A and B are shown apart, each in its own frame.
Chain A
Amino acid sequence: MKKYDIKTTDKETLKKWFHLMTLGRAIDEKAPAYLLQSLGWSYHAPYAGHDGIQLAVGQVFEKGQDFMFPYYRDMLTVLSAGLTIEEILLNGLSKATDISSGGRHMSNHFAKVNWHIENVSSAVASHDTHAVGVARAMVYYKHKGVAITLHGESSTSEGYVYEAINGASNEKLPVIFVIQDNGYGISVPKKDQTANRKVADNFVGMKNLRIIHCNGKDVFDSMNAMTEAREYAIETSNPVIVQANCVRIGSHSNSDKHTLYRDEDELSYVKAADPLLKFRRMLLRYKRFSEKELKEIEAEAKKELSVANRKAISAPDPDPKTIHNFVIPEPYKPKVYVDGTHNKDGEKINMVTAINETLKAEFRKNPDTFLFGQDVANRDKGGVFNVSKGMQQEFGENRVYNAPIAEDYIVGTANGMSRFDPKIRVVIEGAEFADYFWPAMNQYVECTHDYWRSNGQFSPNITLRLASGGYIGGGLYHSQNIEGALTTLPGARIVYPSFADDAAGLLRTSLRSEGLTVFMEPKALYNAVEASTVVPDDFEVPFGKARIRRSGADLTLVTYGNTTHLSLQAAEQLAKEGIGSVEVIDLRSLLPLDKGTIFESIKKTSKVLIVHEDKVFSGFGAEVAATIADEMFRYLDAPIQRVGSTFTPVGFNPILERAILPNAALIYEAAKKQIQY
């Protein structure tokens, strides 16, 4: 027996639905007028034709239990879930009081973060992996609820949608993927996306996954489908796809002109399929409402919209002075080792051990920590480099586990888990090697945007570990340094330690901080004697604090990672030969950059050499050099010089690798020239 139908659903419920649908449509139809009057809403994707499914998703959503990830067309969905008209208008008009983002994110991107109607990206469907991540946390914390993620059928072509559905199927997670099928991705008909007319059919082979088809233009069919989906997902802890058959009555958005690719006949039959008019006709036909009653509801909706409209247009605009707010949350501030140095004596440990022991110590201290990545959790092995060895045994399979080979999924689900509760800290091995992180770039960008885009309402609390760099004879795909590409994106901290103690200290600080920290591990140094140090228990290193590893008076050498050791060797030789004394600064943090330490040193030496393993061209050193040129030019007695690798990939044959990566001799020569300049 279906739960909802035109004959038995109670009148109050029908009234609520008709009211919401009428109201939603009134806003949808008014939106373009704001643009015409230059008041805002410059991006608007009308939802007309999706009314049944959107009403249903909002109605089935349980505030306090569920998480929802609406897409840019989901206006009725969020209205139905409880957003007020004014809240919708404030987002449409990009006002300071817009609860989604304070005017930072595009219009038609509705959210109410404290209800867990999440603020999502415009990159289609990238929130699918977030929904999977939050569902994973729900299951872990025994929370009863579902994650509902929504998008169109064309977006389902994205590889990460497959990753998300595969993951939810494999992990048995209560996620409802709602696919609103209107037949188009902008002007592209769905036949150009996938072979099956109904894209949900592409997933029929996936285990534990239920697929429900419904008529998204029909209120009752949609309500029944969503009710069934939610019950199934919660009762069985399994994912569901609801494919809702919709029509797009309007253009894709205000920047699209659908008359260029749809003929009159089509425009007229999609209009004739208007779900709101169908619902209205049925209410009358089955004598649930009189024409007069419906007219009253319609008039009421108009009035409500006009009241909200007056309030919204007079709301304040965002203040340009606030643009630097909420780029990244304030980090944890070390209390004992305030500048991240120590003078402890004792037994030295190598970098792998230091990272491993710090992870374990923090995991013991904080039960809301999780670690996953590829190959991180085997019985006798912990990651390719044994960094996480013994962790699964100690903390169990629910906190330490292997991930599928899907880097975007790893980062996306870590982001999603963070949404469940701000106390959660997720450590991920973003990829087996930094070289394989590229598939996750979309999710990386999401992580860097979240805090700013949500106006400080949500930050992914993730430590993203990446085994980086070369000098291991690994060739093009086991040697890359990717920090040059990442440091240009605001919203992350990026650290690259070169000694065991700094690795331990930065990792601890990262695990205690909110926000995203990229933790780059120079894998050539994992077991290296020169990187081994004494590591005090509880050692902490603050972000943005460089460490002078050797002091000197004649040249400032700024470096990090593998080249710290090569630089120290070169400095030692220069000192021995009496050529000059080099101050070697290990940056430790690239983002934020410790300009103070660099500048103080330059004031003393008047010369600077920047050394890193990555390519000189467009490597991170370019930014350091430009910063010094901008702010310290008057202190310089020599041009800024840089040493790094050649502008080529890293070759596999050791002869090639040696010709490409910088070495101590090269640094020695460059430093000597600088000193003698």
Chain B
Amino acid sequence: MAQNAKVPFNGTKAQADELEKVLKGLKNVEGALMPALQQAQDIYGYLPIEVQEVIADRLGVSLAEVFGVATFYSQFTLTPKGKYKIGVCLGTACYVKGSGEIYAELQKQLGIESGITDDLVYSLDATRCIGCCGLAPVMTVNDDVYGKLTKDQIAGILAKYKA
């Protein structure tokens, strides 16, 4: 994966300790793998192979199984996200109100199809319904939600989030 090569894994000791703590707590829980991956992603922001190895080892399952689950679910990401995570809702309500065009505009302005920009500042994803259908079309930047969007608002929104 080209994008992995771009960003070498540099987890901190604090992150590693936190992960160990989480995994200890999940030792005897039935069906622990999903919660483990979810909390690991909360800690690191993504699931690099190094983290998957630790999870496999501590939970006593094979790395193949961990990788299989991590790649099955779209919420899990094996590559890091940008400082500003941009999501465009492509749920039905947003789509019929033109969110496809919003997405295309963001692709154009950020110069990426999806994934992360070279300077690691922005990442772009198409998301499923985030439950603000009343505000369609909707995009999110980290925890901020922007609704009732039109194409010409995009540049102004991006300008608020600078490296």
Asked whether A and B interact, the reply is no
Seen from chain A, the residues whose Cβ lies within 8 Å of a Cβ on chain B are: none
- B interface list, Cβ under 8 A from A: none
